[in-house]
Structure 1
Amino acid sequence: MSQHLNLTFCCLLALLIGGCQAQPPKFLNPSVTGYNYTSAAINSFTVNGDGGPNLGPYTGGGGFACCTTVPRQWQPGMTATVEWEKDPEPFAYANWPPLGTDGYEAAYKQHAAKYTRHRVTVEIPRYEVVGSMKVHFLPCDQVLVAVNNVQPGYPGYPHNDVINALNLEEPETCPKP
């Protein structure tokens, strides 16, 4: 009798485990892709605490990093918090003393003191299918994100109107938030 009970228990356990594994995950882990439409370098950035690549100036489609976490299904009111460090003079090193010298080290420290740090929380537009997390850095420290499975420039991308309107020139002064 106990052998029959053990077999029944094992079968029930296998069904329970198999049933749990058959459900799709509630969260997915897309890669993070950055797009920089500014004259500054983005030294580093994060989306909800997950790292993204560094981006040179005017990198209209930069590298990608792995990964962030998003719900499989979009929900109204979803947001992403983007934090980044910006180098406003990314080509200043061209006039520095030779690499490895005390002068270079001093120039680097003086330059790095000008880096600025930013944080913004933005809305995540509706998506049906999760693609990569695309983060767009715009002039005046504005940021847009998208998670849908459509690439910028193609029909259905939620920010084509903004991206296509950019002439890649930053305004002399930015509006106050």
Structure 2
Amino acid sequence: MVFVLLPLAACRAAGQDDTIGVSITGVDHLAEHLSIQDFWVNGTGGHQAGGGGRKVCCASLPAEWRPGLTVKVTWAVTNWKRRVYSMYERDVPLEHCDGPMGRLWVHFLRDGQVRAITCDLSAPGTWEPNPEYPGPQPLATTLLRKQPWSDYERQPDEPEFPEVDNAMEDEAI
């Protein structure tokens, strides 16, 4: 019996990681008329991605980084010009700076890609380029003034924004 249970216990222990909670910050690198209204990392809401200064607690990540780690990122893109939105979901490799696991930065890029980086460096929130930060540098001129929803006024009889396949496209509905 011991010979059967011992391997099972070893497999279970090897498959479990100690986890830590890290704050999540979304950084929206999209065109001015697009915005990330909501996003989630492994089911934890990060809320609206912006310029990198806002933190939400907490995503659960393994306490020790290792190659091959991924996170599931789900996000909604609103196209304020077309007045539509789309939902996206992707398993994203978890990148890491040297040192302990730090804040989780989720970058939403103009080409539709997403980068997830855990790092103690806070380059995106400082608005100053930091060559030590491995992710995209902030586009301060765009991100600091980006508020596409401020020009939008919903009319009383206007329907909610419909969901489309790809809100990042700029063609008419």
TM-score, normalised by the number of residues in structure 1:
0.59
Aligned residue for 2:134? 158
Question: Greater strand share, 1 or 2?
Answer: 2
Percent identity among equivalent residues? 28
Quickly say closer, same or farther: Cα 1:164–1:41, change in 2 above 3 A. Answer: closer
The CA deviation at 1:167 is: 8.8
Partner in structure 2 of residue 61 of structure 1? 52
- 1:72 paired with 2:48, answer no
Change (3 A) 1:87 1:137: same
2:41 to 43, 47, 55: 47
Structure 2: stretches of 5+ with no match in the other structure: 1-16, 124-128, 143-167
**Residue 90 (structure 2) pairs with residue 120 (structure 1):** yes
In the other structure, the counterpart of 1:28 is 20
In angstroms, what is the RMSD of aligned CA positions? 2.9
Q: Distance in 1 between matches of 2:131 and 2:110?
A: 24
Question: Which residue in 2 is equivalent to 1:133?
Answer: 104
Higher helix share: 1
Per-residue deviation, residues 102-155 of structure 1 (Å, max 9, x unmatched): xxxxxxxxx4xx210111221112342121111111102211111121122434
Paired residue for 1:146? 117
Bigger Rg over Cα: 1
Structure scoring higher RCO (CA < 8 A, sep ≥ 6) equals: 2
Q: Mind listing any 5+ residue stretches in structure 1 that lack a counterpart?
A: 1-24, 93-110
